[in-house]
Each structure stands twice: as C-alpha cells, then as structure tokens.
Amino acid sequence: MRSYSLIAPAKINLYLEIIGDRPDGYHELSMVLQSIDLADQIDLRPLGTDRIRVRCTHPQVPQDKSNLAARAAELMAAQFPNTFAQYGGVEITIHKRIPVAAGLAGGSTNAAAVLVGLNLLWNLGLTQSELQELAARLGSDVPFCIAGGTAIATGRGDQLSSLPSLERLYVVLGKYRSLTVFTPWAYQTYRQQFGGSYTAKPQNLASRASGVHSGPMVRAIIQADGVQIGQRLHNDLERVVLPAYPQVLQLREAINSPGVLGAMMSGSGPTVFGLCESYNQAQQVKTAVKVALPDPDLDLWLARFSSKGIQVASSKQILG
Ligand code: C5P
C-alpha cells in the first residue's frame, strides 16, 4: 500500500455571468475559470480500519462528515464497495493555505484531490472524465479543480472546455480574515434582486451560456492579451456582494491601483484579486495595498496563474 501527498490549487473566476434558473434549482452559468498556484496539500494515508478520517488544524474547516473531502471519500467508498473493503479506510490530512469560504474553491479542490488520490491509492484506473463525473455530484466547481488550467465552464459550472494556458500572469489576492460570504446566500440574493432579468425559456439557457465561447474574454485569452483580459473581467455576483460588504468594495478599489490590468471579486467572494503582468508589479501592488489599508484583519497573497489541476507531490510505500 502507498500513501500520497497531493497539491490542490485554488481557482479564480475571470468571468462569471448568471444567465437564468435551471430546473434543478441551480443557476445556468457562463464562466471562465483559472487555476492559480496558491494551493493546499492533501495527504492520504491508508488506515487499517474501515473509517474515513479528516484532520485539519484550521479552525474553520470541519473534521466531520460535512467536510467535502470526507464526502468525496464516502462517495468513492459507496461507488466501489469491494475496493473499499479490500483496501480499508483512509486518513485525509488537509494542510490549509487557501482561505476558507473565500470564492477560491478551497473545499472543492480538496474534494478533487481526494478523488484523484483514492483513484491511485485503490488502483481504480478511472479516467479524468470518469473522475469528473463523480466530482460533479459533490459540487459545481469540483470537476474543474481536477483538471485545472484555464477553462470555460457552463451549465452549473460543470460543463468544461479547456482553453490555452496563461502562465505568465500574476495576481494579488486580498481577503479580510474574519469575513466569509456563503455561496448559497450570494446566489439566492442575486435571484431575489435580478431574477426578473433571467432568460425565461429553457431552450434559450444553453444557447446564451454557450455564447461565452465566442465572447471577448475568450478571444483575449486565445490571444494571450493580458490588457484585454484585465478589461474584460466580469462577475455578476459583485452586484449583490459589493453593496452588502462595503469593505470588499474598498479593497477592490485599493487593489485596482495604477499598473494593475484589472481587479475583481472571485466567485461569490469575498476574495478580491488584481491581475498583474509581472511578479514585481504584483509585489508592488501588495505593498501599496498594505499601506492604503493597514488593517491586521486583511490577508494578502501573491500567486501565479497555473496550467495544472490536482498533482501528486509525492508517494511512499508503507507497510500493510
Ligand atoms: O455546487 P455547489 O455546492 O458548489 O454550490 C453552492 C451553492 O451555490 C448552491 O447551493 C447554490 O445555492 C449556488 N449555485 C447556484 N448555481 C450554480 C452553482 C452554485 O445557484 N450553478
């Protein structure tokens, strides 16, 4: 038996458009997602029992069955009961670096790492698309987190088309540590306030969603045009989150300093990112934001765009 350490990158949204209501209660979305090299490490270790155990020292991360990483392992165990019986349970240790409830898919990428890791640990031989099918049952962002890189995501966010990778861009990320925004709240509030403008006919949903393929953001990505990407950043959820959280708006304004290609909230927030053409520039922006907003509750990070999803960092043969 082996143990595995996996790298689970965060994502940012470069584009998020809400198109309408879906029959399953979710929203039909049109998004462009991007992996960044701010990542958690997930260690998987076989246990001699039939238990699935989660360990994490971060106070906001649950260690019980509500943790999405634990649910990913439960899903694999239910899907492959004979393999689970043969190999036994697993201990999942989450080394948290991605901020929690931040709009960066931290929980989703941990679940994706568990799917990829158990596929290896249990010698299942599942393909990436088979893993992504299981991933969609756990959450809308989990399929993207498996493959990572740059991708268009439509439907609930789980219908993916990959785009050319954009590795030479950097982001400054900012989040108030004590501030969390719950994704269901953001979407429900959006529906209450702007649901009247949704596409009403179900047949229009798919064609509107697929419009992103030929839209200006995708064109800018194909041309690797950082300036255009910065100008085309768009997130409909800013319309509900920014008015409710003036701190986030203020942070967005501070990050959108001279030289930044564009600044926006990621996903349902409250993390804000500023797009930069070089590491040095990103560092200068980080320093300027620290001076402009000297709040000890404000955390800032630098990250680079990444073309990778879940990766195996190391693997060890263990007894048993
Ligand atoms: O799929 P996931 O569990 O990550 O979604 C969290 C919440 O975000 C959902 O419960 C729903 O309220 C909202 N959501 C949505 N439409 C989507 C994706 C998410 O309304 N396409």
Q: How many Å apart are CA 137 and CA 130, to the nearest integer? A: 12
Query: What is the residue type of 167?
Result: E
Q: How many Å apart are CA 256 and CA 247, to the nearest integer? A: 14
Q: How many Å apart are CA 189 and CA 194, to the nearest integer? A: 8
pLDDT of residue 312: 98
Q: How far is the CA of 288 from the centre of ligand 1 (A)?
A: 35
pLDDT of residue 320: 60
pLDDT of residue 166: 93
Q: How far is CA 178 from CA 110, 157, 298, in A?
A: 21, 28, 9
pLDDT of residue 63: 95
Query: What is the residue type of 133?
Result: E
Please check the confidence at residue 222 and state whether its pLDDT lies above 90: yes
Average pLDDT over residues 17-25: 94
What residues are in contact with ligand 1 under a 6 Å CB criterion?
26-27, 29, 139-141, 156-157, 183-184, 187
Ligand 1 test: best mutation among 183, 236, 240, most atoms within 8 Å of CB?
A: 183
| 90-95/52-55 β-pairing | parallel
pTM: 0.97
Helix axes 106-121, 128-136, angle to 10 degrees: 130
Average pLDDT over residues 27-32: 96
Write out pLDDT tens, residues 82-102: 999 999 999 999 999 999 999
Q: How far is the CA of 269 from the centre of ligand 1 (A)?
A: 13
Average pLDDT over residues 213-223: 94
